[in-house]
């Protein structure tokens, strides 16, 4: 189940009036988790600011915020994204309790094979 990987570095880049932050997650995200994350972001009208991707190395949550302005509070947006990550993970755990453990074992086994 994805959670923020506090041992990895966040990626931050500024371009064209926005700042993009790529938040690393622990391991990979299932397609179900990615769908839950998208649905929750949409419900909270955050879909324009945030997306989640499962890439080759791990899952990432990508947040795009406007460059500094008096009306924007990046910390609040990032807190909302952290809450989305936790909520998607909780919903997935509740809907597939045994599947999460089995998926983790399979991914661990696969990592050992490489």
Q: Write down the domain spans for the chain.
A: 11-113
Q: Is the pLDDT of residue 29 over 80?
A: yes
CATH numeric code, 11-113:
3.30.1360
Is a pLDDT exceeding 70 seen at residue 70? no
Please answer whether residues 100 and 108 qualify as being in contact, where contact means their C-beta atoms are separated by less than 8 angstroms. Answer: no
Distance CA 90, CA 10 (A): 23
* Residue 25 per-residue DSSP state: B
For 72-100, how does the pLDDT look when each residue is reduced to its tens digit (9 = 90+)?
678 888 999 999 999 999 898 888 767 76
Close Cβ partners of 95 (under 8 Å, ≥ 6 residues apart)? 32
């Amino acid at each position: 189940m994805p959670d923020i990987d506090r041992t990895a570095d966040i990626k931050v880049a500024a371009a064209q009036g926005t700042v993009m932050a790529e938040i690393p997650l622990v391991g990979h995200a299932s397609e179900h988790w990615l769908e839950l994350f998208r649905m929750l972001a949409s419900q909270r009208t955050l879909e324009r600011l945030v997306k989640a991707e499962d890439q080759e190395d791990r899952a990432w949550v990508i947040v795009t915020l406007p460059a500094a302005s008096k009306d924007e509070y990046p910390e609040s947006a990032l807190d909302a994204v952290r809450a989305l990550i936790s909520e998607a993970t909780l919903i997935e755990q509740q809907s597939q309790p045994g599947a999460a453990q089995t998926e983790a074992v399979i991914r661990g086994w696969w990592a050992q094979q490489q």
